[in-house]
Every structure is written in structure tokens, then in C-alpha cells.
Chains A and B, each alone.
Chain A
Amino acid sequence: MVLEATMICIDNSEWMRNGDYSPNRFQAQADAVNLICGAKTQSNPENTVGILTMAGKGVRVLVTPTSDLGKILACMHGLEIGGEMNLTAGIQVAQLALKHRQNKKQQLRIIVFAGSPVKYDKKVLELIGRKLKKNSVSLDIINFGEEDGEKAEKLEALLSAVNNNDSSHIVHVPPGPSALSDVLISTPIFTGDGEGGSGFAAAAAAVAAGGVTGFDFGVDPNLDPELALALRVSMEEERARQEAAAKKAAEEAAKQDVGEQQPNSQDVTMAETVDAGTTVPENKTRDLMDDDNALLHQALEMSMDDSSSVVAVRDTDMSDASADDHDLQLALQLSVQDSTADQTNQTDVNKLLGDQSFMSSILASLPGVDPNDPHVKDLLASMQSQSEIKDEDKEPKEDEKK
């Protein structure tokens, strides 16, 4: 999403009549130009693109940098092939056109289609490259068409003179069955220096690769944009949640014994994958769970002395979870076994703590906040036998929570 002003230098010299790219070199170039313009304007609405031709009677600016895609595409019509390409003049005029752009905050880029032979010295090209670098202009070179041995070398020399932090690229496209634009799509020229392909480029790549079915989620963004958007948003949310869960699992694992770690993190991630598909309400419960966690920890600490109460909590858990799926039930059964296995004693504090976070992580995956309140109330009810001090501590916290 870099804010950029781009000038595209088209080669419309006699060499472009050749048919070694389908349908002919010039047409392939025009298609590539259309794709680039689309990608640039889509990746950032404030991006501007301009076009000039390097051959013909002389260097001619067809359209100055503008964000109006229609205008850009319109000027590609009726272009005539002829003359010889003037690379140096083309680049210099492009630089001048960029200098007079309206939005001074844009970064500058020139894209050159070098189809005909390059008749300039390496020295001259390097000088131009250095001048571009001095004015912080990046240069993308597309080397296609004529290949006379020195051309690639010269263009590489030009690139190394311009290149600043890998912001400039060169692509060599040999003649072949695949279209020029298809080859370009996978290059950094399209994907914007490794930021990740814009949605436009990705969709275009999918179309090029395998027909209409190649869209991200099996839904054509053009036919049903809302559905595609909804799917994309839920994917991102799911990903964010999984990252948060993984982070939480890592934190919890760091806090506890190794023994309890694995079932813990496994269950957290299992619970997460189980809940795939639901979106916003789940996020809310996770946030609330963090607050509840502390309370639950406290509550369960209090129930340490009383194994039966712990089991009672487990039972209520299981009844709630029964509405959900088998994985959760399995996990809960495991936890019940764990709690019955160790007897109530102060020395097994760590194991119980492990269980309680284990249980709280299961609770977290249960939809809605309400089950937690009844749980806490159950805990309180079952802990009538506990010391009053602990109760007093509990109540003010409950008030805060409410």
C-alpha cells in the first residue's frame, strides 16, 4: 500500500511488430501495461500512473500521472508502431513528469519496457541510473523482445546504478507460449516489493492460472462481493484469534509445570479449531475469559481442600459442554480423571493449578458469558464450609466483576 507515482515507458518501436510473444510484442506489452495500471491504482487509491512512449517521432507523454484508470486505458488505443526507442530520453522525460506531480508525498517509480536493442553505452546508462538514485526514483525494467547479448548486461548495470535497498527490479522475459502479463504477475513489479500481492493481482493470477474457479474462497468477488468480504474478514479474525490463543498457550505453558503444559495448550488449540466458523461473539468471550480466569483461579484455589467440590464443578462443566462436541467432552473427562486421581492435599498445589487453568481454558471455549456466572455461584454455594476470610475476598471481586 505504498503511496506511489508511477510513469510507464512503453516501447513502440519497429521491433514491436514481431510475433514471438502472442499475439505480437506490442499487444503483449499493452496487456501488461493495463494490468500494471490496475494493480497500482487498486493497491492504493491515491496512487497515480502516467504513460509515455519512447519511440515513434520522439518521446511523447500520453497521459500525465493520474489516478483515473479510464483515462489511462483510453490513451493506449490508437498507438502506432514505428521508429526507434530512445531509452535515455524516455527515462529523463519520465523523471521530469514525475517531478511535476501534484502530490509531493508520493514515492517515485519508473517502469520501462525495453523491447528493442539498447544502443547506449553502459557508462551513459549508469550515469542516468545514478541521477535517478540521487532523486530517490526507483526503476523497474522489463527486458523482453530483442536479445543481443549486451542488452541484458547493460540493463543490469543500469539497475545496479539505480538500486537503493532493493526498491528497483529487473525482469527478463524470454519469448514463449505464456503471455508477458502472466510472467509479470509473479514478479516483484506486481507484488510491490514483497508486501504481498494486492487482491487484484491475486485474483488476476488465479484467473490466469485456472479459470473462474481459482478465487480465494471459491467465491467470485465480482459476483458476490459481500460474501467474499465476509469470508475474508472471518478468516482474518480466526487467524488473529489463533495467534492470540497460541500466545496465551505459550504464556500459560511458561507459567506452569511441564507436565500440565501439553494437555493445556493442546486443549486450547483444540477448542479453538473446534470453534472455527463463529466470529465476533467468540472474540468477546475470550476477552471476558481473561478477567474470569483470575476469578476462577481464586475460586478453584479455595476448592483445593475439597475434592468433591472440584468434581462438582467438573460436572457442571460437562453438562454445559454436552451441548458442544466430542473433543471437548473427551478433554473434560480427562480432566475429571485427573482431579479424582489426585487427592486433596496442599502438596499437590501445582497439579490442581494446572487443572484449574485447564478447566478454565475449556470454559473459555464455551459460548457466552453466562455459564461462567452460574459456575462461580455454584462454587460459592459448594464452598460454604470455607473460611470466611476467603469469602470476603471473593465478594468484593464479584462486585467488581458485575
Chain B
Amino acid sequence: MSVESVSVVPRSQIDLLDFVDWSGVECLNQSGSHSLPNALKQGYREDDDLNLESDADEQLLIYIPFLQVIKLHSVVIKGPEEEGPKTVKLFANREHMGFSNVNDFPPSDSAVLSTENLEGKPVIVKYVKFQNVRSLTIFIEENQSGSEITKIQKIVLYGTTVETTDMKGLKKIEDH
């Protein structure tokens, strides 16, 4: 992971929330009442009382597809000091992983979150590995205190988009 102590995301990096393909977003092992939109969606994520919580055990597997290809620069994961996530693994472009095969592939990047990260300091990822990302899988392996439930208040993804053809914008050339 990056050693720089950057506490502010560079201005060129934008919040990728607008490029998330909500129809394909999935989260395994989330609790029914405390689900992923609480941590991802605008408005909900700002509210510290609305959390994403895990259900049967402390692991979480979040799958976020994007509407277009993006480059990922950094990630902010905010959570409470005790039940916030500790070990986080990121996988780029792996569709539909499950808990059983999550350890079969090496992650594109992994991080151990510190207390500062849990308060909002962004985690810079290995940029070279996330140049061409169509979908991101976040695997939360364990939490800070080892408790049964992992809680996440906010997840923000920062990055840039890649020039992609917008198929809807393509217009048929009229013959005269």
C-alpha cells in the first residue's frame, strides 16, 4: 500500500458514485436492515447512524459494477473504531465471487485499515492495477476488534473515468 500520508484526495480524482451500476450491486452476508445502500448512497452514507452491517459472521463481500470503465485512485472506508473493518481486499474485474473462492485469487490490492482510515482518511490503492476497472469487489475479511458483526458507515470511491464510447450517443448517419 502507498506510504504517502495524503489526507486529501487530489482534485483531479472524482467521486465515482455517479458511475455505479446500481442494478448489479450486490453484497453477500449483509444484514437485512442494515444494507449496502446505507454505506454507499448519497445522503445515507453521510449519516453515521445508518450502517452496513454483516449478518452471519464478520465477513462481507461487496460487488460494485460500473456503468463505464474507470480508473480507481483511492478508497475511503469509514466505520466505528471497534467494529469497523480491518483487513480489506480489493479485486478488479472479477464477477460474482463467493466466500468460497475469494481466497483462490490474489487480490488486486489489499489494505489493513488504521483508526485514521476509519475516520475518513483515504486509502490510496495501487493505481497501476486499477487502470481498467469495470467492476470492483471489496472483501472485508475481519474487523478491528474481532467482534461478530462488522459495521461500515461510509464507502467512497475516488478515481477518474476512461474515455469510453457512449453507445446511446451514437447516431445513425442518414443517407441523403
Residues of A in contact with B (beta carbons under 8 Å apart): 99, 104, 130-131, 133-136, 164-165
How distant is the Cα of A272 from the Cα of B105 in the complex, in angstroms?
65
Within 8 A of A (CB), among B21-51: 28-29, 32
Within 8 A of A (CB), among B77-124: 95-96, 98-100
Q: Name the contact of B99 in the complex, choosing from A104, A134, A165 (C-beta under 8 A).
A: A134
Do B28 and A134 touch across chains, with their CB atoms under 8 A apart?
Answer: yes
Q: Which A residues are CB-close (under 8 A) to B32?
A: 164-165
Interface pairs (8), CB distance under 8 Å: A99-B98, A131-B56, A134-B28, A135-B29, A135-B99, A135-B100, A164-B32, A165-B32
- Chain A residue, CB-CB nearest to B59: A134
Do A104 and B55 touch across chains, with their CB atoms under 8 A apart?
Answer: no
How distant is the Cα of A104 from the Cα of B57 in the complex, in angstroms?
23
- Chain B residue, CB-CB nearest to A132: B56
Q: Name the contact of B56 in the complex, choosing from A99, A104, A130, A165 (C-beta under 8 A).
A: A130
Do B96 and A135 touch across chains, with their CB atoms under 8 A apart?
Answer: no
Do A134 and B95 touch across chains, with their CB atoms under 8 A apart?
Answer: no
How distant is the Cα of A164 from the Cα of B54 in the complex, in angstroms?
13
Q: Which B residues are CB-close (under 8 A) to A164?
A: 32, 55
- Starting from the known contacts A104-B96, A134-B28, 8 additional A-B residue pairs (CB-CB under 8 Å) come to A99-B100, A130-B56, A133-B55, A133-B56, A134-B57, A135-B99, A136-B28, A136-B29
Residues of B in contact with A (beta carbons under 8 Å apart): 28-29, 32, 55-57, 59, 95-96, 98-100
Q: Which B residues are CB-close (under 8 A) to A136?
A: 28-29
How distant is the Cα of A1 from the Cα of B95 in the complex, in angstroms?
25
How distant is the Cα of A133 from the Cα of B55 in the complex, in angstroms?
8
Do A135 and B95 touch across chains, with their CB atoms under 8 A apart?
Answer: no
Do B56 and A134 touch across chains, with their CB atoms under 8 A apart?
Answer: yes
Do A135 and B57 touch across chains, with their CB atoms under 8 A apart?
Answer: no
How distant is the Cα of A164 from the Cα of B100 in the complex, in angstroms?
20
How distant is the Cα of A131 from the Cα of B96 in the complex, in angstroms?
17
- Chain B residue, CB-CB nearest to A129: B56
- Chain B residue, CB-CB nearest to A104: B96
- Chain B residue, CB-CB nearest to A136: B28
Q: Which B residues are CB-close (under 8 A) to A134?
A: 28-29, 55-57, 59, 99
- Chain A residue, CB-CB nearest to B29: A134
- Chain A residue, CB-CB nearest to B54: A134
- Chain A residue, CB-CB nearest to B27: A136
- Chain A residue, CB-CB nearest to B96: A104
Q: Which A residues are CB-close (under 8 A) to B99?
A: 134-135
Do B98 and A135 touch across chains, with their CB atoms under 8 A apart?
Answer: yes
How distant is the Cα of A131 from the Cα of B99 in the complex, in angstroms?
10
- Chain B residue, CB-CB nearest to A127: B56
Interface centre among A99, A133, A134 (most CB of B within 10 A): A134
Q: Which 4 A-B pairs have the closest CB atoms?
A: A130-B56, A134-B56, A134-B29, A133-B56
Least CB distance from B104 to A in Å reads 13
Least CB distance from B162 to A in Å reads 25
- Chain A residue, CB-CB nearest to B30: A136
How distant is the Cα of A165 from the Cα of B100 in the complex, in angstroms?
23
Q: Which B residues are CB-close (under 8 A) to A131?
A: 56
Q: Which A residues are CB-close (under 8 A) to B28?
A: 134-136
How distant is the Cα of A53 from the Cα of B99 in the complex, in angstroms?
26
Least CB distance from B64 to A in Å reads 15
Least CB distance from A311 to B in Å reads 61
Least CB distance from B39 to A in Å reads 18
How distant is the Cα of A16 from the Cα of B98 in the complex, in angstroms?
36
How distant is the Cα of A133 from the Cα of B56 in the complex, in angstroms?
7
Q: Which B residues are CB-close (under 8 A) to A99?
A: 98, 100
Report if A130-B57 is in contact (Cβ < 8 Å); known contacts: A136-B28, A164-B32, A165-B32. Answer: yes
Q: Which A residues are CB-close (under 8 A) to B95?
A: 104
- Chain A residue, CB-CB nearest to B55: A133
How distant is the Cα of A99 from the Cα of B102 in the complex, in angstroms?
13
Q: Which B residues are CB-close (under 8 A) to A104?
A: 95-96
Q: Which B residues are CB-close (under 8 A) to A135?
A: 28-29, 98-100
How distant is the Cα of A136 from the Cα of B27 in the complex, in angstroms?
10
How distant is the Cα of A135 from the Cα of B96 in the complex, in angstroms?
11
How distant is the Cα of A104 from the Cα of B99 in the complex, in angstroms?
15
Least CB distance from B33 to A in Å reads 9
Q: Which A residues are CB-close (under 8 A) to B96?
A: 104
Least CB distance from A101 to B in Å reads 10
